[in-house]
């Protein structure tokens, strides 16, 4: 799916952005020169503009690559190849067995620093690097609050069927779910190892790539930091359903018995959904002396889903302490991460037949002429149906709650 800028009497401008190896660059920024109009490339590196002119000049930006300008002609697709930024080759990157200059690395490594992270209401570290590295595709796998994004590096798959990369946080190895145990605002940088160099260091566990996460360290003196953001999620591209009057007209034309019309005008989808909200709060304390340093953080993520009665709460705690001894010849670092996750998921699957198993689908197929409640206040269902279902009753009465606690430490 392309991002598109649209005007009346449009001419189409199409193209693709690739790197020096002709691999697509997802998330590259395309800006119409001299304007504030901009879009980003798709996961395949493609873009499409629709403007009321026959030619235009675009400016292409992608982190770690030189800025490029191209003049486009309507109706002619172009391939724009970006070259690596020579200045970025002097950056220091973490490669598993230490640190080195980017220009000295022979493997495919992408380094994303905290200043380059995506901003906004971030609930997962993967959201911070979406579209920031070539060959790294990050997608949201579900709409439920708290659902984690999925990541693939160069589309790599393994024989065992596990396509997720290995995650290494300050030297401690884990899977992608490990990222949910750290506050996103506490990350200093993320390095992505994409090729055989990952397996050379980490063996078969790095066959699908490696994410090396470096956390922020204590500064001199004492520091207190507080970060907060919030966002609102809305339903877009909602299907236009028949009103009760339109449904009745269509039913009469198809000889549907009048007994199926109960005279209501119910928007089932509107009753089932709402505007979702996300809040993210992080409090960090840090300090250091000649021989001792520490950094502690406490984070809270509160999400209310767009489906009623679906929400997620996650509390994240992290502490890191370093003690130096023997005239700084010995350094001992202790790290402790803990999370408490409470999830209340509105039942997407409610254990019925396939055609009645999803609340959203049922909201769309429910008749607008059915009322929500009976005169006595109970939920309405049509006894003439084989499997009657009131989606609002299902959303309010079927509870799917879970709570999990995780604790991970290293020294």
User: 3 lies in a domain?
Assistant: no
Whether residue 64 is found in the same domain as residue 195: no
Q: What are the tokens at 374?
A: 């009976």
What CATH number corresponds to the domain at position 38? 2.60.40.1120
User: 381 lies in a domain?
Assistant: yes
What CATH number corresponds to the domain at position 157? 2.170.130.10
pLDDT value at position 351?
A: 42
Whether residue 117 is found in the same domain as residue 172: yes
Whether residue 192 is found in the same domain as residue 116: yes
Domain boundary among 62, 84, 106: 84
User: 405 lies in a domain?
Assistant: yes
- Per-residue pLDDT of 171-215, as tens digits, reads 888 888 888 888 888 898 898 887 766 666 777 787 888 888 888
φ, ψ (nearest 5 deg) of residue 75: 85, -5
Whether residue 202 is found in the same domain as residue 301: no
Beta strands per DSSP E along 11-91? 11-18, 29-32, 38-40, 46-51, 55-61, 68-73, 78-81
User: 98 lies in a domain?
Assistant: yes
Domain boundary among 39, 61, 84: 84
Distance CA 368, CA 303 (A): 30
Whether residue 196 is found in the same domain as residue 228: no
Distance CA 177, CA 47 (A): 32
Whether residue 92 is found in the same domain as residue 198: yes
Domain boundary among 84, 104, 138: 84
Whether residue 391 is found in the same domain as residue 248: yes
Segments of the chain scoring below 70 in pLDDT: 1-9, 86-107, 141-143, 155-162, 196-200, 220, 258-260, 346-357, 386-387
Domain limits at 20?
11-84
204: helix, strand or coil: helix
pLDDT value at position 192?
A: 86
Whether residue 108 is found in the same domain as residue 207: yes
DSSP state of 373: B
Whether residue 94 is found in the same domain as residue 135: yes
User: 5 lies in a domain?
Assistant: no
pLDDT value at position 86?
A: 58
**Sole residue written with tokens 């709460």:** 313
Note the residue count of the chain.
Answer: 411
Whether residue 135 is found in the same domain as residue 170: yes
pLDDT value at position 87?
A: 54
Domain count, the chain: 4
Q: For residue 315, give every residue at least 6 positions away whose Cβ sits within 8 Å of its Cβ, in sequence order, or none.
A: 298, 299, 300, 339, 340, 341
pLDDT value at position 350?
A: 45
Whether residue 130 is found in the same domain as residue 247: no
CA 299 to the chain's CA centroid: 18
Whether residue 124 is found in the same domain as residue 204: yes
User: 356 lies in a domain?
Assistant: yes
User: 4 lies in a domain?
Assistant: no
């Amino acid at each position: 799916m392309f991002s598109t800028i649209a005007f009346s009497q449009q001419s189409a401008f199409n193209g693709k952005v690739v790197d020096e190896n002709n691999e697509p660059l997802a998330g590259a920024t395309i800006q119409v020169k001299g304007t504030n109009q901009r879009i980003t490339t798709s996961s395949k590196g493609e873009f499409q503009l629709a403007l009321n002119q026959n030619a235009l000049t675009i400016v292409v930006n992608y982190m770690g690559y030189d800025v490029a300008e191209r003049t486009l002609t309507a109706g002619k697709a172009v391939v724009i190849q970006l070259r690596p930024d020579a200045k970025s080759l002097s950056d220091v990157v973490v490669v598993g067995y230490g640190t080195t200059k980017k220009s000295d690395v022979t493997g495919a490594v992408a380094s994303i620093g905290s200043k380059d992270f995506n901003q906004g209401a971030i609930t997962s570290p993967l959201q911070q690097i979406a579209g920031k590295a070539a060959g790294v595709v990050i997608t949201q796998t579900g709409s439920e609050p708290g659902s984690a994004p999925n990541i693939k590096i160069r589309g790599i798959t393994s024989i065992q069927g596990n396509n997720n990369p290995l995650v290494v946080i300050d030297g401690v190895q884990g899977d992608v779910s490990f990222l949910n145990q750290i506050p996103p605002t506490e990350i200093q940088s993320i390095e992505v190892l994409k090729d055989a160099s990952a397996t050379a260091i980490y063996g078969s566990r790095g066959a699908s790539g490696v994410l090396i996460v470096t956390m922020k360290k204590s500064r001199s003196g004492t520091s207190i930091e507080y970060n907060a953001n919030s966002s609102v999620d809305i339903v877009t591209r909602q299907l236009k359903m028949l009103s009760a009057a339109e449904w009745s007209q269509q039913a009469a034309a198809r000889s549907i018995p009048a007994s199926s019309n109960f005279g209501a005008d119910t928007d089932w989808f509107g009753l089932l959904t709402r505007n979702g909200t996300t809040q993210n709060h992080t409090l960090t304390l840090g300090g250091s002396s000649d021989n001792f340093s520490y950094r502690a953080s406490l984070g809270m993520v509160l999400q209310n889903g767009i489906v009623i009665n679906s929400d997620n709460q996650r509390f994240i705690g992290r502490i890191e302490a370093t003690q130096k001894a023997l005239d700084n010849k010995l350094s001992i670092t202790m790290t402790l991460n803990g999370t408490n996750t409470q999830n209340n998921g509105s039942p997407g699957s409610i254990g019925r037949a396939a055609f009645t198993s999803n609340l959203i689908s049922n909201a769309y197929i429910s008749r607008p002429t059915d009322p929500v409640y009976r005169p006595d206040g109970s939920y309405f269902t049509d006894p003439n149906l084989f499997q009657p279902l009131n989606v609002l009753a299902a959303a309010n009465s079927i509870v799917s709650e879970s709570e999990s606690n995780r604790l991970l430490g290293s020294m």
